[in-house]
Chain A
């Protein structure tokens, strides 16, 4: 029972984290906070993928093998899911790239307008 709760707790937390990030991206006025929100949203998604790839009682997805190159028959259930991992490796890298671009833009915008505050910037721009 408790285990089941944790199982769905996991997914609930995923949704909560993502929504925190989304909310920050949409509603926060500060550009840096928006960037943080974006990063949080992305980690939420990553957590989602990792959660779905988790296996109870599994080990790392590094196969046991003998040194002479021969290998045993592999039971997939014994190893963690590699596919979700590599998908998320990609997502992390994409995320940091996007974050870098967003921060750069935020920095330039700040220098133009002396502010990180979205409304203030828009006021200034519309003058």
Chain B
């Protein structure tokens, strides 16, 4: 990587973070935050963490920003200045500065940046790189670590997304024709983006391509950057785009609320189900190698590889549904009839 480029990016990131916190318009702040995330994922890509960069581009710069916009759409967007208690801010500043200084004291103690033989790179990580092929036959080590060596983390990560979806539904969802008293027609902007012909047509064309790409990302995660998360987020984003360019009811015609919930649960079920099957076949939870007993024409190594694909599909289901579900909840303010 080019260090000058890196230097500029790192500086820019700080500036963008500050701007997004300074801007009085919340919509603007969200957009700046999106830009911040995007710069961040450039940095990560520069450091060789393509999978992370990929995810951040989809999640941080994409979906997160859309979540914020959906929230702001239903509420107020301008911050009205108010006289503030500066002593509190100063106190917090002090806390933060002390914490930061404390964190910085350790920087000199870190191994040299980029050292391939630092403990982080040498100990466990090196094992993964050297054994991934022989253990799992998956060349993308990120995928093999994600979906096999540390698949237990990943399963719970999927569960986290599922939890968020269920939790948000529980908090925000209202039955229709029930208390519409609190702020029904709240802050609807005069401009309705779904009426724009250009946007409609453009997204109509884009959505299928996005979805095909997403499927590719899921399926080809063994050999190239990508996997269940990235694919799931892109799938979700395509649906979000669809609903943004038309409106929510159009989306719900294709994919109802019920399916959002059920599919997200099924995603987790696929993942944990694979684990349970492994247990039933007499090995430890998530030990894919025993799946060779039931998968046709596989040895224990290939069984791992195949099981990873199954698991990634489960992840993709859950993530996609969670992204769409969270977005629709936020955008429609829990009523699931109209909204952004």
Contacts and interface: CB of A to CB of B under 8 A. Distances in A.
A73 B126 CA distance: 12
A116 B118 contact: no
Interface string A59-102: 11111110001010110110111111111111011111111110
B46 to A, nearest CB: 9
Given A54-B48, A84-B49, A35 B172 contact: no
B229 A89 contact: yes
Interface in B113-164: 113-118, 120-122, 124-126, 128-130, 132-134, 137, 139-142, 144-146, 150, 153-154, 157, 160-161, 163-164
Interface residues of A, number: 95
Contacts, number: 313
Contact of A50 (B52, B133, B137): B52
A104 to B, nearest CB: 5
A60 B225 contact: yes
Contact of B110 (A52, A60, A96): A52
Interface in A19-47: 19-24, 26-30, 32-33, 35-37, 39-40, 43, 46-47
B148 to A, nearest CB: 10
A120 interface: yes
Q: Does more than half of chain B's interface fall in helix, strand or loop, or is it mixed?
A: helix
A43 B60 contact: yes
A82 B71 contact: no
A114 B170 CA distance: 21
10 contacts: A6-B3, A8-B108, A36-B33, A80-B48, A82-B128, A82-B144, A86-B150, A96-B64, A97-B160, A108-B171
Interface of B: 3, 6-7, 10-11, 13-14, 17-18, 20-21, 26, 29-30, 33, 36-37, 40, 43-44, 47-52, 55-56, 59-60, 63-64, 67-68, 71-72, 74-76, 79-80, 82, 84-85, 88-89, 92-93, 95-97, 99-100, 103-104, 107-108, 110-118, 120-122, 124-126, 128-130, 132-134, 137, 139-142, 144-146, 150, 153-154, 157, 160-161, 163-164, 167-168, 171-172, 182-183, 186, 223-225, 229, 319, 322, 326, 329-330, 333
The 3 A-B residue pairs with the shortest CB-CB distance, nearest first, are A80-B48, A7-B113, A97-B164
